[in-house]
Amino acid sequence: MMLTELTIAAAHEGLRRRDFSAEELVGAHLAAIDRLNGRLNAFITVTPEQALAAARRADAILAGGEEAPVLTGIPLGIKDLFCTDGVRTTAASRMLEEFVPPYESTVTANLLADGAVFVGKTNLDEFAMGSANITSVFGAVENPWKRAGDAETVLVPGGSSGGSAAAVAARLAMGATGTDTGGSIRQPASYCGIAGIKPTYGRCSRWGTIAFASSLDQAGPMARTVEDCAILLESMAGFDTRDSTSVDIAVPDYRAACGRSLKGMKVGIPAEYRVAGMPAEIEAAWEQGIAWLREAGCEIVEVSLPYTRYGLATYYIVAPAECSSNLARYDGVRFGRRVPGATLDELYEATRREGFGAEVRRRILMGTYVLSAGYYDAYYLRAQKVRNLIRKDFESAFRTVDVLLTPTAPSPAFAQGEKMDDPVQMYLNDVFTVPASMAGVPAMSVPAGLSASGLPLGLQVIGRSFDEESVFAAASALERAAGFTHRPAVRAEVV
Phi/psi region, residue 297 (left: phi>0; alpha: psi -120 to 50; beta: rest), is left
pLDDT, average across residues 138-159: 96
Count of structural domains, the chain: 1
pLDDT at 495: 39
Please report how many Cα atoms fall inside a 13 Å half-sphere around the Cα of residue 36, on the Cβ side: 29
**256: CB partners within 8 A, 6+ apart:** none
Asked if the model's pLDDT at residue 256 lies above 60, the reply is yes
pLDDT in tens, 165-216: 999 999 999 999 999 999 999 999 999 999 999 999 999 999 999 999 999 9
Q: Considering only CA atoms, which of 138, 79, 40, 153 is closest in space to residue 412?
A: 153
pLDDT in tens, 49-64: 999 999 999 999 999 8
**392: CB partners within 8 A, 6+ apart:** 307
pLDDT, average across residues 35-45: 98
pLDDT in tens, 470-487: 999 999 999 999 997 777
Scanning 161-279, the segments in alpha helix (DSSP H) are 162-169, 186-192, 226-236, 254-257
Q: Considering only CA atoms, which of 386, 84, 92, 82 is closest in space to residue 217?
A: 82
Asked if the model's pLDDT at residue 73 lies above 60, the reply is yes
Please state, for a pLDDT cut of 90, what percent of the chain lies above it: 92
Asked if the model's pLDDT at residue 424 lies above 70, the reply is no
Asked if the model's pLDDT at residue 464 lies above 80, the reply is yes
Average confidence score pLDDT of the chain = 95
CA distance 232 to 230: 5
Q: pLDDT-based confidence at 391, cuts 50/70/90?
A: very high
Q: pLDDT-based confidence at 1, cuts 50/70/90?
A: low
pLDDT at 493: 57
Q: pLDDT-based confidence at 16, cuts 50/70/90?
A: very high
pLDDT at 482: 95
Backbone φ and ψ for 426, nearest 5 degrees, come out as: -65, -40
Q: pLDDT-based confidence at 492, cuts 50/70/90?
A: low
| Full domain range(s) for residue 479 | 1-495
Please report how many Cα atoms fall inside a 13 Å half-sphere around the Cα of residue 258, on the Cβ side: 17
Domain containing residue 401: CATH number: 3.90.1300.10
Asked if the model's pLDDT at residue 494 lies above 60, the reply is no
Q: Among the listed ranges 12-21, 163-172, 258-267, 425-434, which one has the minimum average pLDDT value?
A: 425-434
CA distance 179 to 467: 19
Catalytic residues: 79, 160, 184
CA distance 155 to 416: 5
Pairing label, strands 75-79, 403-407: unpaired
CA distance 247 to 234: 15
Helix (H) or strand (E) holding 265: none
CA distance 446 to 463: 14
**208: CB partners within 8 A, 6+ apart:** 82, 83, 101, 103, 104, 105, 106, 107, 108, 109
pLDDT at 427: 67
pLDDT, average across residues 396-402: 98
pLDDT in tens, 326-383: 999 999 998 889 999 999 999 999 999 999 999 999 999 999 999 998 899 999 999 9
